[in-house]
Amino acid sequence: MAYRLWFPVAVVLLHLFASLVIATPQGDALIQVAKDWQTSFSSWLPGTDPCKNSWVGVGCDADHINVISLNLTNSNLRGPVPMVIGNLTSLEALDISNVKYTDMNLNAVTGNVSALAPLRNLQLLNISRNVLGVTKFPEVVQTLLNIRSLRFEHDLIPGPFPVGLTNLKKIEYLYLGNNSFSGPIPKELGLMTSLKELTIWGSNYNSKLPPEIGNLVNLTYLNCNRCFLWGGLPPEYGKLKNLEKLHFYKNTLTGPIPDEYRNLTNLIELRIESNQLFGSFEPWIIGLPNIQLVNVNFNQLYKSLPPVIDRTTTNLTQMYVKCNYFTGKYPLIDPSFTTEFDANCYDNPGVNGTFDVMCSRELSCIPFQSFLTSNGGCPPCPNGQYLANKTLCICYGDKIATSNKEYPISAIVGGAVGGAVVAAVALLLICLCMRRRRKFDPDRDFFNTEVRDGGKVEPWDAPKGVQRYTLDDLVRATNNFSKEHEIGSGGFGKVFYGNFPGNKKLAIKRASTSTSANGQTQFRNEVLLLSRLHHKNLVRLEGFCDENNLQILVYEYMRNGNLHSHLFRKSAGKYLDWYKRLEIAVHIAQGLEYIHSFADPPVIHRDVKPTNILLDGNLVAKVADFGISKESLELHTHVSTNPAGTVGYFDPEYFTTQKLTTASDVYSFGVVLLELLTGQKVIDHVSRGEEYNLIKWVERRVEEGGVDLIVDTKLEGNYPRQIFLKMATLALHCSASEKKERPTMKAVVTALEPLLREVGRPKAETEAVWTELPAEAADNESTFTGSSSQSFSHHGALKQSKAVIDPR
């Protein structure tokens, strides 16, 4: 009883007494600490006890005896950690960080922190946002064996990652973000099994992720964004079954999202945006039971997304997938989700034209600035694409021509990076040339258009059957490349016709093979290959010019120009009647069948489309631009992964297989055949809207209403329905999205040829063979995008014959 009564009184008295006591060793030490750090606190009164009077920032144990915590955030600390701090041996927590960046002028703790060595009881240490100015991570920290929580963030500490921290067997929270560590992330981190949170973001590790981190089974948070990581996501991390947040954004990680991550059933946030991840996006990712946020923006993921994304399929609330290469349907998304889905390669582009349909990266896709050192600040392009515009970081994978402002930019399938440089130089040149028209000067316009390797020409015997021309020959034949000799323009520049001795008219264009060391060899191999390809439906190579390292090809002149310009004009019904169209289809098929069967491995055209079908004086169709740089024998493996082609005509299987095959030509042929039947362009957002792709448009209409609904109205009903139905069916068959459903060119020829015989040439028009179709100008019209060859531009090096003969 007496004890109960007297106890509180005693405590009060003790307190009174204590506050009168002259000094405590801890108080003295703290006062000295403040002094050494060039600061002071009004509540820290000399002669009082820090545990019995409320010293700001000081925390004591329950008995008010020992100082166990010191929180001096934003306290105007200056200079090194005072040695006397070591007198506070009971200290368990020390926070001398700044709270925000803007406070960094407040605490400015500098120098080494070896004064902490005596603090054997320290469990929490936070020295973030200071300016330590050390040359490596302080070793003393690695001796504080009771540490549970350690923060050295934003301290710009250089040197290797502090492997010695693995000594800290009790550590649960390790925050080392935003330093300047270099060298690999050590695999020893995998020994720190007590870790719950590990964030080591923002250093230049330049390494792979160590699989050993997968052993940290208690980990809930793993953050290594901006770590200069490369290599793949380790499948071993699928073992982190407690993981809630995984942040690996802004690195250069490659490869797929491992299937093992299905086991991350506690994952809430997956942030792997701005990498180079490649592969599919499997539905299980959004099906993880706890997932709320997925961000895979700015990667190279392809294949399709789950078709439906709503509350029945996922617990997600935020999903970001923009700037990838997703194909297939644009998913149906619950509108209450926060999403970013644009800039992909969907079949059905956004209803408002906001989504990219071209598989090209747009301005908003320029990601991470640390790529600034290479590629002019752009991330690497995906396989088979090249950087076509370094200002906008646009990778071109396809090309598309359109006059509609809403769907801008022509995008191209191109070749290697080397090609990008050539293309960029050439583009720039064309831009300049367009602005300032000037007279042709071979020195300037030929020799300065690109870098050449010193003009050393190894002796070479031209293959039989082709003529070797000098530049002089060509200048003479074209009257110094005068405007009157221009017959067209494609890729980078113009195509000319020339009058050669013997009253021969020939077409001159430049091959845009690489100008690198082996460019010359490549060019010669191609000339060799072309010189052997002879067929009535192939535009024949007559000669070449390799003087001064130029790579110019000289072809037979095709008097009636290209199929595109005839098919898409008002008079197309008259000059290209139904029979002519069937004939042209047979011609193209025969030409392609020939190149496919000519050699093993086969020659693949890669860019079958109406501007590459040329018509001679008798309206015989011949395939142009085959062979070169596409399937030269020597470069087989190289080129097979580098496509060239045009959107709409381009084999969609490429996006899954990364390979172009003869079946890719069959696909393009199918599209050209559809254009022949319908007189419509493969891509037309303006007149067909949602069904902008001709294949889909034809498919649906033929199915629902028969062939009459699709045939070119310019034919005014003059066509044999049965035959056109057969052709349409064949065309759809050829342009099946799956390669295995397409026939071979041989089968196509076998199917088409009998149709010609079946009907025979119609009487009325039979003899009306035009020797020359009327000039385009006669009925030039807006439906023919006269500038198409301009906007169909920018090829990579491996795209052939992008004539750069540009005299202006």
Minimum CB distance to ligand NAG smaller for 25 or for 501: 25
Beta bridge partners of 276: 254
Q: Which does 32 bind (CB under 5 to 8 A by kind): ligand NAG, ligand ATP, Mg ion, none?
A: ligand NAG
User: What span, in angstroms and rounded, lies between the C-alpha atoms of 413 and 794?
Assistant: 9
Q: What share of the chain is helix, strand, coil (3-state, %, to 5)?
A: 35, 15, 50
Max Cα distance, the chain (Å): 134
CB 74 within 8 A of CB 98: yes
Catalytic residue among 342, 546, 577, 607: 607
Name the residue whose CB lies closest to ligand NAG: 126
Minimum CB distance to ligand ATP smaller for 509 or for 739: 509
Q: Spell out, one character per residue from 617 to 656, where the chain touches ligand ATP: x when CB under 6 A holds, - when not.
A: -------xx-------------------------------
User: What span, in angstroms and rounded, lies between the C-alpha atoms of 672 and 667?
Assistant: 9
CB 621 within 8 A of CB 363: no
Token readout for 624 is 């142009």
Minimum CB distance to ligand ATP smaller for 247 or for 494: 494
Minimum CB distance to Mg ion smaller for 55 or for 649: 649
Minimum CB distance to ligand ATP smaller for 318 or for 499: 499
Task: Provide the minimum distance between the beta carbon of 737 and ligand NAG in the complex, in angstroms, as a whole number.
Answer: 25
Q: Does 542 bind Mg ion (CB under 5 A)?
A: no
Residues in 486-505 at the binding interface with Mg ion, rule: CB under 5 A: 490
Neighbour-count burial of 472, counting CB atoms closer than 10 A to its CB (0-12 exposed, 13-18 middle, 19+ buried): exposed
Q: Does 653 bind Mg ion (CB under 5 A)?
A: no
Q: Which does 789 bind (CB under 5 to 8 A by kind): ligand NAG, ligand ATP, Mg ion, none?
A: ligand ATP
What phi-psi label fits residue 65: left (phi over 0), alpha (psi between -120 and 50 degrees) or beta?
alpha
Q: Does 788 bind Mg ion (CB under 5 A)?
A: no
Q: Does 225 bind ligand ATP (CB under 6 A)?
A: no
Size of the site for Mg ion (CB under 5 A): 3
Minimum CB distance to Mg ion smaller for 254 or for 800: 800
Task: Provide the minimum distance between the beta carbon of 130 and ligand ATP in the complex, in angstroms, as a whole number.
Answer: 59
Of 45, 268, 308, 427, which one interacts with ligand NAG (CB under 6 A)?
427
Token readout for 519 is 């460019």
Distances in Å between the Cα of 21 and the Cα atoms of 25, 27, 231 are 12, 12, 65
With a CB cutoff of 8 Å and minimum separation 6, the contacts of 767 are none
Size of the site for ligand NAG (CB under 6 A): 48
User: What span, in angstroms and rounded, lies between the C-alpha atoms of 343 and 322?
Assistant: 6
**187 belongs to an annotated ligand binding site:** no
With a CB cutoff of 8 Å and minimum separation 6, the contacts of 63 are none
Q: Given the rule CB under 6 A, which of 234-242, 481-489, 513-521, 658-666 is the region that contacts ligand ATP?
A: 481-489
Q: Does 802 bind ligand ATP (CB under 6 A)?
A: yes
Task: Provide the minimum distance between the beta carbon of 712 and ligand ATP in the complex, in angstroms, as a whole number.
Answer: 21
Tell me how many degrees the CA angle 299-304-308 measures, rounded to the nearest 5: 115
Neighbour-count burial of 548, counting CB atoms closer than 10 A to its CB (0-12 exposed, 13-18 middle, 19+ buried): middle
Q: Does 625 bind Mg ion (CB under 5 A)?
A: yes
Q: Name the 3-class secondary structure at 708.
A: helix
Nearest to residue 560, comparing CAs of 501, 502, 613? 613
Of 66, 178, 514, 788, which one interacts with ligand NAG (CB under 6 A)?
178
Q: Does 690 bind ligand NAG (CB under 6 A)?
A: no
Distances in Å between the Cα of 727 and the Cα atoms of 585, 693, 721 are 9, 18, 10
- Per DSSP, the residues of 15-76 read HHHHHHSS--HHHHHHHHHHHHTT---TT--TTS-TTTTT-TTEEE-TTS-SEEEEE-TTS-
Task: Provide the minimum distance between the beta carbon of 389 and ligand NAG in the complex, in angstroms, as a whole number.
Answer: 4
Q: Which does 238 bind (CB under 5 to 8 A by kind): ligand NAG, ligand ATP, Mg ion, none?
A: ligand NAG
Q: Does 93 bind ligand NAG (CB under 6 A)?
A: yes
First to last CA, the chain: 112
Beta bridge partners of 541: 555
Q: Does 203 bind ligand NAG (CB under 6 A)?
A: no
Which helix H or strand E contains 222, and what residues bound it?
strand 221-223
Q: Name the 3-class secondary structure at 395.
A: strand
Task: Provide the minimum distance between the beta carbon of 527 and ligand ATP in the complex, in angstroms, as a whole number.
Answer: 16
Task: Provide the minimum distance between the beta carbon of 770 and ligand NAG in the complex, in angstroms, as a whole number.
Answer: 40
Q: Which does 471 bind (CB under 5 to 8 A by kind): ligand ATP, Mg ion, ligand NAG, none?
A: none
Q: Does 260 bind ligand NAG (CB under 6 A)?
A: yes
CB 144 within 8 A of CB 124: no
Of 31, 127, 487, 798, which one interacts with ligand ATP (CB under 6 A)?
487
User: What span, in angstroms and rounded, lies between the C-alpha atoms of 442 and 435?
Assistant: 19
Q: Does 510 bind Mg ion (CB under 5 A)?
A: no
Q: Name the 3-class secondary structure at 397.
A: strand
Q: Which does 154 bind (CB under 5 to 8 A by kind): ligand ATP, ligand NAG, Mg ion, none?
A: ligand NAG
Helix 694-705 to helix 721-734 angle, to the nearest 10 degrees? Answer: 140
Task: Provide the minimum distance between the beta carbon of 607 and Mg ion in the complex, in angstroms, as a whole number.
Answer: 7
Q: Does 612 bind Mg ion (CB under 5 A)?
A: yes
Minimum CB distance to ligand ATP smaller for 179 or for 489: 489
Of 209, 219, 229, 507, which one interacts with ligand ATP (CB under 6 A)?
507
CB 92 within 8 A of CB 124: yes
Radius of gyration of the chain (CA): 36
Q: Give the single-character DSSP code of 232.
A: P
Known active-site residue 607:
yes
Annotated binding site: 509
Annotated binding site for ATP: 509
User: Given the rule CB under 6 A, which residues bind ligand NAG?
Assistant: 25, 28-29, 32, 71, 73, 80, 84, 87, 93, 95, 97, 99, 101, 112, 114, 124, 126, 149, 151, 154, 156, 173, 178, 193-194, 202, 218, 238, 259-260, 262-263, 287, 289, 313-315, 350-352, 354, 389, 391-392, 424, 427-428
User: Given the rule CB under 5 A, which residues bind Mg ion?
Assistant: 490, 612, 625
Which sequence positions are flagged as catalytic?
607
User: Given the rule CB under 6 A, which residues bind ligand ATP?
Assistant: 487-491, 495, 507, 509, 539, 555, 557-558, 561-562, 607, 611-612, 614, 624-625, 789, 792, 801-803
